[in-house]
Amino acid sequence: MTHSSTSSAPAALEVVGGGLSFGNRHLWDDLNLTIRQGEYFAVLGPNGSGKSTFLKVALGLTQLSTGSIRVLGQPARRGNPGIGYIPQQRGIPVNTPMRAKDMVGLGIDGHRWGIRLGGKKHRAKVDELLEAVGARDYANVPVGLLSGGEQQRLRVAQALANNPKILFADEALLSLDLNHQYAVSDLIHRYNKSDGGTVVFVTHEINPIIDHVDRVLYLANGRFTVGTVEEVMRSEILTDLYQTPVSVIRSNGRYVVIGGEAHGVGSMDADCHHDDELEIR
Ligand SMILES: Nc1ncnc2c1ncn2[C@@H]1O[C@H](COP(=O)(O)OP(=O)(O)OP(=O)(O)O)[C@@H](O)[C@H]1O
């Protein structure tokens, strides 16, 4: 099933006949997809299905095996200033000689594109961003000493610092406690709704962002489907995608996907309660 958006907004990201393989590992074939400017788009799927690789292709870090991809009207390339990127979490070395506010400041320095805010404006913008992600209290702390969730909030602030046209977020809510999940999710939502920014949000947990998402790309087993959450998160659609019986249950506004690991549904999330449950939270 491949839907194109009904919106007439220009394309923010466009894949035509996209295929990607590593040796005999096929991540996907013949992907045709248009993400419109201002759309909030989620990329879902089990571990290893190719979600992060999809972003790397859009960032120009990995090349498609077949087909083409354009981002903001140009072939995907490294260093596109219209892109903000929240990479999947990696620990920052303890001895990194940089304070939290410096890390956020790097996002707005614009040294990569030759624009530089004056000192006062720069500090005000850093403060605003630190405040938005709840990081003011540790503005002067070396980043290597911060917890994983604290570092993650700085990555979010840094990615939004330059007012990007499109934001690529790779598991941006990982390691955040519930309050900060809401705060960061809300910040990205505001970026999408108030600033008209396009969001491509990679996650295996749809539930924390479910109220904001316009459409999803669901990758599994070298196959994919695209549509609204309601269109895709259905037992018959995911059964067809995984090619094994899968049940999608909606309970208290949350989606739970239940399938058989033994039947190849995919990796289980850490907080699954049964051996045969795959939960997409
Ligand atoms: N450059 C590469 N060379 C070979 N294999 C690669 C390369 N990049 C990615 N892969 C493989 O592609 C598959 C998809 O990886 P990817 O990181 O995109 O998965 P994911 O859906 O983001 O998974 P997770 O939920 O675990 O983060 C993996 O099996 C990975 O090993």
Nearest CA to ligand 1 atom 2: 22
Contact between 96 and 113 (Cβ < 8 Å): no
- Ligand 1: residues with CB < 6 A are 22, 27, 45, 47-53, 204
Question: Per-residue pLDDT averaged across 152-157, rounded?
Answer: 91
Residue 121: count of CB within 10 angstroms of its CB: 11
Torsion of CA 16, 21, 26, 27, to 10 degrees: -60
- The residue that leads in pLDDT, 259 or 249, is 249
Rounded Cα distance between 251 and 254, Å, is 5
Contact between 246 and 258 (Cβ < 8 Å): yes
- The residue that leads in pLDDT, 4 or 100, is 100
Nearest CA to ligand 1 atom 26: 47
Residue 22 CA to ligand 1 center (angstroms) comes to: 9
Residue 50 CA to ligand 1 center (angstroms) comes to: 5
Confidence class of residue 118 from pLDDT cuts 50, 70 and 90? Answer: low
Residue 269 CA to ligand 1 center (angstroms) comes to: 17
What ipTM, to 2 d.p.? 0.96
Rounded Cα distance between 55 and 171, Å, is 11
- 18: enclosing H helix or E strand: strand 11-22
Total-model pTM: 0.86
